[in-house]
Structure 1
Amino acid sequence: MRILMLGNSLTAANDMPAMLADCIGAKVYHHTRGGARLSEQLNPNTRLGARTQEALVQENWDYVVLQEMSHGPVTAPEKFFSSVRELCGQIRTRGAVPILYATWAYQRGSAKLAAKGWDYDVMADALSAAYHKAAVENHALVADVGQWFYRLSGIQDLYADDGVHPTPSGSRLAAETIAEVIRRQMEGQNDKANL
């Protein structure tokens, strides 16, 4: 199994792609740049976009995981939905399955959340809703890591000191959530094949 992850530092932190590879027994590659948006992955005039576009056209993937910049689905929803639509089209044309990696709200009480003037619950709900809407519209799978952060952040140490990036435990939770989505999808395919 070959998986390509498109995202930014929320994907690359703590070498999460290697954690996913361990969880699912796959070869996992990632095209990331700190602060990157999905629209950059579509732009062949950027180094990241050129690399991604070449990989989507010339290589075979089983799954391609899409992760938008941390607040992009909330602050630039049209750009987010448009980028997801275009990328999902490219991914499906090549026979791969798109997965949206729904990230989390900034940590409750963090300086970053306060600087934006946002409410933690509102940001968490808005991110989850945007990713789920994009998944439904594009027949994509969704790994709602953000909802796990929402449920578990008071119990587990999931946020790094900046209140945005994940700790190793947070990255492990993300990898396990994505792996579980892939396992469920594969089991569904196997069930259909056995009918």
Structure 2
Amino acid sequence: MRILMLGNSFTFTNNMPQMLAGLTGAEVVHHTRGGARLSEQLNPSTKLGSQTQAALQKEKWDYVVLQEMSHGPITAPKSFFSGVEGLCRQIRANGAVPILFATWAYQRGGAKLTDKGWDYDEMAQKLSEACHKAARDNNALIADVGNRFYELSHAQNLYAADGVHPNEAGSHIAAETIAAVIQQHEKEAQ
């Protein structure tokens, strides 16, 4: 099995693609850059986009995981929805299954959340709504990591010191959630 992950630091932090490889037994490749948006992955005139476009046209994948910039689904919904739509079209043309990696709200009470003027529950809900809509509209699977963070945030700290990125436990939760979606899809496809 081959998995391509398209995203940014939320994907590559703590070497999460390797955690996913360990859980699935798959070869996992990631095309990531800190702060990258999905629209960049579609743009062949950027270094990242050129790499992704070549990979989707010339290589065979089983799953392609899409992760938007942390607050992108809320602050730039038009770009987010069109990025998901364009990539899902290309992923299906490749014969692969698209999976939307729905990310988490910034840490409750953290400086980043305060800077944005957002409330934790509000950010979590808006991210979830946007990601679920994008998955539905594009018939993509969804790895709702954001919801797992929301459920577990009272019981354990899943954030790095910046209150935005995952700590190692958070990256494990992300890898486990994505792996569970893949394993469920594999079981249903038999």
Q: How high is the TM-score relative to the length of structure 2? A: 0.99
**Cα separation, 2, equivalents of 1:153 and 1:160:** 13
Structure 2, unmatched stretches of 5+, are none
Match of 2:93 in 1: 93
Q: How many residues align?
A: 190
Quote how far apart the aligned CAs of 1:156 are: 1.5
Quote how far apart the aligned CAs of 1:154 are: 1.6
AA partner of residue 115 (structure 1) = D
Quote how far apart the aligned CAs of 1:153 are: 1.3
**Cα separation, 1, equivalents of 2:147 and 2:41:** 25
AA partner of residue 122 (structure 1) = E
Match of 1:106 in 2: 106
Quote how far apart the aligned CAs of 1:157 are: 1.9
AA partner of residue 179 (structure 2) = A
**Cα separation, 2, equivalents of 1:32 and 1:55:** 13
**Cα separation, 1, equivalents of 2:123 and 2:141:** 21
| Per-residue Cα deviation, 1:108-132 (whole angstroms, up to 9, x for no partner) | 0000000000011010001011111
Considering only aligned residues, what root-mean-square deviation do their CA atoms show, in Å?
Answer: 0.4
Q: Which runs of 4+ in 1 moved over 4 A?
A: none
Quote how far apart the aligned CAs of 1:99 are: 0.1
**Cα separation, 2, equivalents of 1:157 and 1:111:** 16
Is the counterpart of residue 143 in structure 1 residue 156 in structure 2?
A: no
Residue 86 of structure 2 aligns to a residue whose secondary structure is helix
**Cα separation, 2, equivalents of 1:95 and 1:49:** 19
| Per-residue Cα deviation, 1:35-93 (whole angstroms, up to 9, x for no partner) | 00000001111111100000000000000000000000000111100000000000001
The alignment-based identity, stated in percent, is 68
Structure 1, unmatched stretches of 5+, are 191-195
Match of 1:193 in 2: none
**What does 1:2-13 align with in structure 2 at a 5 Å threshold?**
2-13=2-13
Match of 1:47 in 2: 47
**Cα separation, 1, equivalents of 2:93 and 2:178:** 22
**Cα separation, 2, equivalents of 1:128 and 1:185:** 21
